[in-house]
Structure 1
């Protein structure tokens, strides 16, 4: 195997083999190093249980309320129109002000009606004078008929003349009353107490007056206290209320003024109270709803006709219920769940059936017991089957139902 020179090829062979042994040794060292590095990770300590806050459900007597969208309307609304025509002399109210019944609103030029009244007074005086003359002529005829100076026919004619004079007097009195009434109608007064709209006719304009509805519209007035709120009840709710009434668990709104609570736009809690005072006699076939009405106190005049509000109507008899904070309820696809801490401090997801909100707390119809520990804070740290470190909180706050 030696080369021509006897040593050169042998030296090259030793230089080639030496690096391969070094490389294999390096791979073995690296392999042991990697194995040693992975060993501590498998032997590390488990993370501590997550801290959560738990509380037991509140048990108290509650009453269900159903909510509807309603619109307010005035109990009384009147369109102010003149009963006589003429030119408007003055407007005696401020637009949008509160007016009292009998307050002067408009003045129509009374002079034409005063002239008619003067004529009627003259006609009445003439009729009364004719009555007096007819009386005297009848008395004279009755005296003369006893001496046969006049015939019975003349007496009958004079008696008839007296009756005609009395009738003319009555007609003249009626004409005078009508003329004076027209003078009174030239002063247009508020027929009821309420808030008046803007004036629709300015001084100097001619208005038409009549009693058949064709007269000129001057303004309108609406009452504010109390005020109506109309809302539509769906058929399913109506059937539910009927069943409760048949079972004796809820009085019918037709016979009993059931209470309602009203929440205005922008409010989070009811601010006005009232009672049901009307249910329609049929359902609307186009909407399948029953028109209902409640009368609401509006002593501060803060509600105006046309506003919207949320109407809460008593929907059940009082019953015992379990309640928890609404924030403790989570959603798992199509079902609602709460996280309950079991006796071994592990977490369980419990499906529940929710009821309405009652004074900030959520009614739980099914799925919980009074002794269950419900996670009310730290839900994001809870994992089903994992251990937690529960800390008991005070009972959830909430007033009486």
Structure 2
């Protein structure tokens, strides 16, 4: 082999050796980095926290309810006739006794006049019969008349007196019919939509009403709670009036505050709930009949208890727990026991100490012993973190 060929062969062998070394370095398994080093390289998890504090916590129960007017009446005619005029405006507030509509009264007035005339006729006949009776008695005393004539005259007088009493009843009936032609408001309230227009014939037997009158001040709220809350409600009522706050359907705006009036006398076995009724002054008309509301009942106030925001409480396979932030700004999970819950506030009975920092947001980023970066801590007060 010539020197040139030998040199070329050596160059090729050297190139293959270098390529094989590089390939092995790329494909060879690498040992995992130290866990402590990897943990140190993980950035702190950002979280929001709150400080567990001791305070007085109100305990509420909330149920779905409906608003009911304290007085609802259908405005109807009590006599048959033509609706002559309607004297209210739809949505108008009226007072008890205000005339709302008029029925044509002419037929009823004629019947009343006829009854009065008949009574006058019988009164005149009675006067003549009483004079005849007096003469018959005088003649009988002088033996110019018989007792039979006296008895006949007495019977006639008694009949006429009975007729006059019947006339008076007929007059009262006819007067009532005339009075019914003026349809009046049976109470204060607000009139709804007019359902019958003037000129239509209305009857006392009609299924439909001319309008509906409702009294919304005060108003009532009928709502339900789980039957297991019955003892708590009864105990609260034994201590005094129980406050109820009505919220809108979104549970974001208070519509009024009232008091529980009564608890229904039976528990619904179908739903295992108890029905309650609360009364609200409703001076600002925030509660409207038929409206759905959330009724929040103040059952009791727990004094000097440890409380945290409800979103700090987590549920895991082993039960309830919360993430806390240690003094070294590391995360630690802590099993806890809770008492009552109200709004965004939960009472913790064991597992936490006053002043400890609990995580309220960002829990999904946490691992035990991992570093965290926290926002400014907030205390828990009055059911809301501040």
User: TM class by shorter-chain length?
Assistant: 0.7 to 0.9
Map of 2:2 onto structure 1: 9
Query: Are residues 1:157 and 2:152 paired?
Result: yes
Map of 2:211 onto structure 1: 219
For the structure 1 residues 280 and 11, does the alpha-carbon distance in structure 2 shift closer, same or farther, using more than 3 Å as the test? closer
State the alpha-carbon separation in 2 of the partners of residues 63 and 169 from structure 1: 72
For the structure 1 residues 305 and 271, does the alpha-carbon distance in structure 2 shift closer, same or farther, using more than 3 Å as the test? closer
- Secondary structure of the corresponding residue to residue 203 of structure 1: coil
Map of 1:231 onto structure 2: 223
Map of 2:305 onto structure 1: 321
Q: Contact (CA 8 Å) 1:230, 1:291: kept in 2 or not?
A: yes
Question: Structure 2: which 5+ residue stretches go unaligned?
Answer: none
State the alpha-carbon separation in 2 of the partners of residues 26 and 285 from structure 1: 84
Deviation at 1:355, TM superposition (A): 5.2
Map of 2:287 onto structure 1: 303
Q: Contact (CA 8 Å) 1:230, 1:293: kept in 2 or not?
A: yes
Map of 2:129 onto structure 1: 134
State the alpha-carbon separation in 2 of the partners of residues 151 and 178 from structure 1: 41
Q: Contact (CA 8 Å) 2:345, 2:383: kept in 1 or not?
A: no
CA deviations 1:307-350 (Å, max 9, x no partner) are 11111123445343222234444555685432223345432111
State the alpha-carbon separation in 1 of the partners of residues 222 and 374 from structure 2: 49
Map of 1:4 onto structure 2: none
Deviation at 1:265, TM superposition (A): 2.0
Deviation at 1:286, TM superposition (A): 2.9
CA deviations 1:273-320 (Å, max 9, x no partner) are 122222222223333332322222211223222111111123445343
State the alpha-carbon separation in 2 of the partners of residues 49 and 380 from structure 1: 13
Which has the larger displacement, 296-305 or 10-19? Answer: 10-19
Map of 2:236 onto structure 1: 251
- Secondary structure of the corresponding residue to residue 71 of structure 1: strand
Which has the larger displacement, 274-283 or 62-71? Answer: 274-283
State the alpha-carbon separation in 2 of the partners of residues 262 and 158 from structure 1: 76
More strand by share: 2
Q: Contact (CA 8 Å) 1:340, 1:349: kept in 2 or not?
A: yes
TM-score by length of 2: 0.82
Q: Contact (CA 8 Å) 1:340, 1:372: kept in 2 or not?
A: yes
Q: Contact (CA 8 Å) 1:134, 1:158: kept in 2 or not?
A: yes
Q: How does 1:118-197 map to 2 (within 5 A)?
A: 118-197=113-192
State the alpha-carbon separation in 1 of the partners of residues 327 and 95 from structure 2: 70
Match of 2:263 among 279, 291, 298: 279
Q: Contact (CA 8 Å) 2:64, 2:293: kept in 1 or not?
A: yes
Whose Rg is larger? 1
Count of matched residue positions in the alignment of Structure 1 and Structure 2:
375
Which has the larger displacement, 158-167 or 120-129? Answer: 158-167
Pairwise CA RMSD: 3.5
Which has the larger displacement, 181-190 or 391-400? Answer: 391-400
Query: Are residues 1:339 and 2:323 paired?
Result: yes
- Secondary structure of the corresponding residue to residue 186 of structure 2: coil
State the alpha-carbon separation in 2 of the partners of residues 285 and 327 from structure 1: 34
Map of 1:113 onto structure 2: 108
For the structure 1 residues 115 and 268, does the alpha-carbon distance in structure 2 shift closer, same or farther, using more than 3 Å as the test? same
State the alpha-carbon separation in 2 of the partners of residues 137 and 181 from structure 1: 36
